[in-house]
Amino acid sequence: MTEPLETPADQHARVVVIGAGQAGLSVGYHLRRLGLVPGSDMVVLDRAPSTGGAWQFRWEALRLGAAHRVHDLPGMRAMGLQFDDADRSRPARDVVSEYYRRFEQHYDLRVRRPVAVSSVSRIGDGSLCVTTRTPDGTEARIRAEVVVNASGTWGTPFMPWYPGRDVFAGRQLDTTEYRSAAEFAGQDVVVVGGGTSAIGFLLELDGVARSTRWFTRRPVLWADTTSLDLESAVAAVDEQDRAARAGEVLPSIVSGTGVPVSRRIRAGIDRGVLQDEPMFRRIDESGVITADGRHVHADAIIWATGFRADLRHLAPLHLRTAAGGVVVEDGRAADEPRLFLAGYGPQASTIGANRAGRLIARQVMDELRGA
């Protein structure tokens, strides 16, 4: 859909990057190296109040290395910074936010925040219009030749529907709402989901909650390694790529790799804290009814059931397929050549987001040159 530009845009930029997490910063770094001037040629926007992308919102107990490895941003080592040397006793959110802040300053990326992109639309002159909104309600429009979307998934946690979800009298929350185990002291807690977030919550709740029960749609696949196995990761990333090219909803990465069994996880399995059960049948006011018909009392249900790509602001471009995704090939939207999606599908880990930065920046420069 193409809209006329009724009122002139407030600013023109050659490239707008939406999001300053790993993916957006990586693209921004490479675009700067390729000659774009941050703040004028290239404008990076982020709706969050501080640096760190989604990491700034993660729960206090999460430490670096607890899930998978967090890869350095390109150019970070040249500054003498690397995550492998980071203090693992500090919350991951503080470390990542600090490192990203230093990175943004060092490379002078001039990220504007908090500035939320509310929509991206096509305008008559062949460019894209990025509409932004600041917390005081001020709207502005930036005309851009190319848009790089790097908005991640944290804004769109996915909660599956189960019968009775609306009658449960206790507390229900998703991964983004979890703060600390102390909030559940003395409670019976049901955790849903087979990924690293669920496992992290169960381990943290052990000894704090009165009881925990763990329900997963499929039996948890424990990988035969202590860290992510590269071969199965390659297969999982290929599967993400296939889904992105087909315009399907993206599968979860751990469904393809299995969960690596670190020493901490091994101890949790041995203590019986990490015993997954088949998904419950339904929920009632005071708990859940298990697959074999028993009632389990719950004060709280934590839905650690994954995320979807946060692409709501791209709705005016009408890129959604009937299969629920967007067709993306090598980081570029197949139906909108001026739009790139960084950190999407096969790029959705910190290492993938890094590689994507270079790949996308080169394609962006080709597009700007009219190649």
Instruction: Please identify, using beta-carbon distances, which residue of 288 and 326 lies nearer to ligand FAD.
Output: 326
As measured in angstroms, the least distance from the Cβ of 277 to ligand FAD is 22
Instruction: Please identify, using beta-carbon distances, which residue of 50 and 211 lies nearer to ligand FAD.
Output: 50
Task: Report if residue 22 touches ligand FAD, rule: CB under 6 A.
Answer: yes
- List the strands of the sheet with 211-216, edge to edge: 171-174, 300-303, 188-192, 211-216, 276-278
Task: Report if residue 244 touches ligand FAD, rule: CB under 6 A.
Answer: no
Phi, psi at 113, each rounded to 5° = -150, 155
User: What's CA 138's distance to the chain center, in Å?
Assistant: 27
Looking at 240, 349, 354, 363, which residue binds ligand FAD (CB under 6 A)? 349
CA quadruple 41, 46, 51, 55: dihedral sign: negative
What are the b/e assignments for 329-346, b being 16+ CB within 10 Å? eebbbbebebbbbbbbbb
Question: Looking at this protein, which amino acid is placed at residue 178?
Answer: Y
Which region among 83-91, 217-225, 346-354, 363-371 touches ligand FAD (by CB under 6 A)? Answer: 346-354
As measured in angstroms, the least distance from the Cβ of 285 to ligand FAD is 30
- Please count the other Cβ atoms lying within 10 Å of the Cβ belonging to residue 140: 13
Size of the site for ligand FAD (CB under 6 A): 32
Whose tokens are 């009658």? That residue is 167
Task: Report if residue 345 touches ligand FAD, rule: CB under 6 A.
Answer: no
Task: Report if residue 21 touches ligand FAD, rule: CB under 6 A.
Answer: yes
Task: Report if residue 354 touches ligand FAD, rule: CB under 6 A.
Answer: no
Q: How far apart are CA 338 and CA 255, in angstroms?
A: 32
By CB under 6 A, the residues from 190 to 229 that bind ligand FAD are 197
DSSP secondary-structure letter at 101? Answer: H
Q: How far apart are CA 340 and CA 343, in angstroms?
A: 10
Q: What is the largest CA-CA distance in the chain?
A: 65
Looking at 42, 54, 220, 359, which residue binds ligand FAD (CB under 6 A)? 54
Residue 147 and residue 297 in contact, taking contact as beta carbons nearer than 8 Å: no
Task: Report if residue 257 touches ligand FAD, rule: CB under 6 A.
Answer: no
* CA neighbor of 183 nearest in space, from 209, 165, 163: 209
Task: Report if residue 19 touches ligand FAD, rule: CB under 6 A.
Answer: yes
Looking at 31, 36, 42, 67, which residue binds ligand FAD (CB under 6 A)? 67
CA distance from start to end of the chain: 24
By CB under 6 A, the residues from 109 to 168 that bind ligand FAD are 116-117, 150-152, 154-155
Task: Report if residue 68 touches ligand FAD, rule: CB under 6 A.
Answer: yes
Looking at 17, 20, 317, 333, which residue binds ligand FAD (CB under 6 A)? 20
Task: Report if residue 358 touches ligand FAD, rule: CB under 6 A.
Answer: no
Q: What are 53's two structure tokens?
A: 């992308």
As measured in angstroms, the least distance from the Cβ of 99 to ligand FAD is 13
Q: Site residues (CB under 6 A) for ligand FAD?
A: 18-24, 45-48, 53-54, 58, 67-70, 116-117, 150-152, 154-155, 197, 310, 313, 343, 349-350, 353
